Amino acid sequence: MFLTPILMAATTLAALLIGGLHFAKRSGDRRANFLYGTLLLTGGFTQLHFLLDFTGQFEAHPEWKYLPIYFSLWLPVLLFSYVKISLFPAYQFRWTDLKHLSLPIGQTIYFIAIWLWPALRHEEGRYFYNPFYGGLEQALFLMGWPLYVLFSVMYLRQRRKRMNKRSLPRLLWYLRKLLKGVVFFMVAYTVLSLADFFAYKYNWADMRSQFWYADAQALSFTTLLLWLCVYGGQLLVWGRKLLMAR
């Protein structure tokens, strides 16, 4: 589908633009702004990686697949951190929080290393047991989203219990909508990824070679990123009102 790469490119640009604007956002919690901006930036660069792969650029330029722009393991952790800081702005990060960053930081170091030192690269690029760029990494990516969304919901409920208001405050209402949207799109992405895994395992078919499957998988992540962009754009527009309604 010719429309798919256009949508992927558009969401890439939107994520990078909106993410960058969050670093200049003055309303709201500064740390929450930085976290959401970083979420959009890492999502945008990861989408760029997918776009280069989808359009066949990795075949024409094999070295591009090692560009340090792939941040899949950062995304669920950053979403959780944003929700946590938005709900509890007085929270101070502790050394124990580093356990959440071990895999994301490892992934970044891995890509920087294989980009700077080509001798470290695997001949196939991805391989199954690689926790940063392969089958194991995809499993960690798929498990990370429901896990960190669950953590976010737990903090959301904890914050709600501390309030005496009957109606849900605007901040909590929008955070809940954000998480619901993330769950919806990640279910679609997970189903497609599992279908590809089992098809490959049992030799039913090479799903990635089917144009409809490639489009569907690309669009599932695209819609997820678009949802994050829509929420981020709303933050830029009604951020002051949201802060006053907390």
Residue 148: its pLDDT value, please?
95
Residue 127: its pLDDT value, please?
81
Q: Say yes or no to pLDDT of 123 above 60.
A: yes
Name 224's Cβ contacts closer than 8 Å, sequence gap at least 6. Answer: 182, 185, 186, 189
The more confident residue out of 18 and 241 is 18
pLDDT band at 150 (very low <50, low <70, confident <90, very high): very high
Q: Are 80 and 44 in contact (CB under 8 A)?
A: no
What's the rounded Cα separation, in Å, for the pair 58 and 161?
50
Residue 1: its pLDDT value, please?
58
- What mean pLDDT comes out for the span 19-23? 95
Residue 166: its pLDDT value, please?
56
Name 8's Cβ contacts closer than 8 Å, sequence gap at least 6. Answer: 47, 50, 51, 54, 218, 222
Residue 243: its pLDDT value, please?
47
The mean pLDDT of the chain is 86
Q: Say yes or no to pLDDT of 135 above 70.
A: yes
The more confident residue out of 114 and 244 is 114
Q: Give the DSSP letter of residue 129.
A: T
- What mean pLDDT comes out for the span 137-146? 90
Question: Residue 69 is encoded by which pair of tokens?
Answer: 């722009």
What is the number of alpha carbons within 13 Å of residue 71 lying toward its C-beta? 21
- What mean pLDDT comes out for the span 158-179? 78
- What mean pLDDT comes out for the span 206-214? 61
Torsion, Cα 178 180 182 187, to 10 degrees, reads 180
Where do the structural domains in the chain lie, given as residue ranges? 3-244
- What mean pLDDT comes out for the span 29-33? 91
pLDDT band at 207 (very low <50, low <70, confident <90, very high): low
- What mean pLDDT comes out for the span 76-104? 92
Most confident of 10-14, 152-156, 186-190: 10-14
- What mean pLDDT comes out for the span 178-186? 90
Residue 122: its pLDDT value, please?
82
- What mean pLDDT comes out for the span 139-153? 92
Residue 210: its pLDDT value, please?
61
- What mean pLDDT comes out for the span 166-171? 65
Q: Are 242 and 25 in contact (CB under 8 A)?
A: no
Residue 204: its pLDDT value, please?
57
Domain 3-244 has CATH 1.20.1070: yes
Q: Are 1 and 50 in contact (CB under 8 A)?
A: no
Q: Say yes or no to pLDDT of 2 above 90.
A: no
What's the rounded Cα separation, in Å, for the pair 70 and 72?
6
Least confident of 38-42, 47-51, 93-97, 117-121: 93-97
What's the rounded Cα separation, in Å, for the pair 112 and 142?
23
Least confident of 7-16, 21-30, 227-236: 21-30
